Amino acid sequence: MPDEIYYDNSATTRTREEAAKLVYEMLTECYGNPSSLHRKGFEAQKRLDKAREQVASSLGCQSSEIYFTSGGTEADNIAILGAARAQKRRGNRIVTTAFEHDAVLNTVKYLESEGWEIVRLMPDANGQITPEQVLEAVDDKTVLVSIMAVNNEIGSILPIGAISRQLRRKYPQLLIHCDAVQAYCKEPIKLGKTMDVDFLSVSGHKIYAPKGCGALYIKKGTRFRPVTFGGGQEKNVRPGTEGIANACAMGLSASLLMQEREENHKRITQIRDALLEGLTNLPDICINSPADATPYILNFSALGVRSEIMLHFLEEKGIYVSSGSACAKGGASHVLASMGMDHQRADSAIRLSFGRYNTLEEVPVFLQALQEGLNRFRK
């Protein structure tokens, strides 16, 4: 039996050994400031350049289009605020979805308080937004569309490629942002090919690198206005001395994960399918993730048992799951509410999210523990 089962990889991942060793090396040996003019600074700059190239390679873009940030949240903020302020003379309308991550929703809410018109598209019962929905919401005053690649609670894969292609044809001046945190190094992303966007946000701690590092892709030539100011680092997009140790770890993790991506996807799909089979054999279990969701996320409701109660019961058995987005801290899920889910089902929702360290052997252990929880709390 496994000592623990960690099914909360969408909240954060365990830092992989290679990345952790690299962080230590950067902190104790290659510790120079990349802006310094001496050899130590030059060595640090070379390592930062390599990390930038690794992240760019994982996304299929140029290294000059990658800017390191403190994480996905900061990348979302910089993209949305910078794009909106650069386009203010053209219009005041932003289109997004009602089930984005809070990093997007709270940023557009702030802009709304400044007088911007925000359109929040509602997903259907399968957590989908169609290209037609987006085109219908966009008009000549719209300056930005921000839509995620994979929903972080139910795992639905949004048709961002089709959406961007249709928007480009009808509104060539429009800027497009994609929060790709849950898709990065898991689902295919080829910028400019399968996904033609102007901004794309990714995070390091979702790909086995440390917390505190992320990256923002800004398409070459995109109109953009910085939102913070400092010493000119990251070409003034995100000034401040770079967190070089974490950035290098993120670059290495991205490179390694891209080599493993197909193998991981296949194994995770087997784990997800085995769990689905087991869950459907249990009474009063509703599957909330759509059939065509990413295999990395499986959301279900154990009707009659509140999420928080089941979460802590499983925790006592060394099994770690989530009741939704980690950023919500146990609050009601805006994602499930936006899909029209009734309160009882939403209140009993559990999110399982998988990673490179999960195995098929964990599945029956989890299902047994869940069965015990259902027997105990449904009495």
Could you give the CA distance from residue 173 to residue 146 in angstroms, rounded to a whole number? 15
Answer positive or negative: Cα dihedral of 303, 285, 148, 49.
positive
Q: At what angle do helices 72-86 and 102-113 cross, to 10 degrees?
A: 30
Classify strands 117-121 and 93-97 as parallel, antiparallel or unpaired.
Answer: parallel
Catalytic residues: 327
Nearest to 171 by CA among 147, 120, 136, 195: 136
Three-state SS for 219? Answer: coil
Q: How many residues does the chain have?
A: 379
User: In this structure, which amino acid lies at residue 21?
Assistant: K
d(CA 371, CA 329): 25
Q: Reduced to 3 states, what is the DSSP secondary structure of residue 142?
A: strand
353 within 8 A of 7, measured Cβ to Cβ = yes
In the block, which residue shows the tokens 């802006």? 35
Burial class (CB in 10 A: 0-12, 13-18, 19+), 70: middle
**How many Å apart are CA 247 and CA 238, to the nearest integer?**
13
Q: Are 212 and 229 in contact, with CB atoms under 8 Å apart?
A: no
Q: Enter the DSSP assignment of 326.
A: G
Q: Which is it for strands 285-287 and 199-203: parallel, antiparallel or unpaired?
A: unpaired
Burial of 356 (0-12, 13-18, 19+ CB in 10 A): middle
Please state, in angstroms and rounded to a whole number, the distance separating the CA atoms of residues 357 and 261.
Answer: 13
The SS3 assignment for 69 reads strand
Place of tokens 């680092």: 233
Q: What residues does 94 pair with on adjacent strands?
A: 118, 144
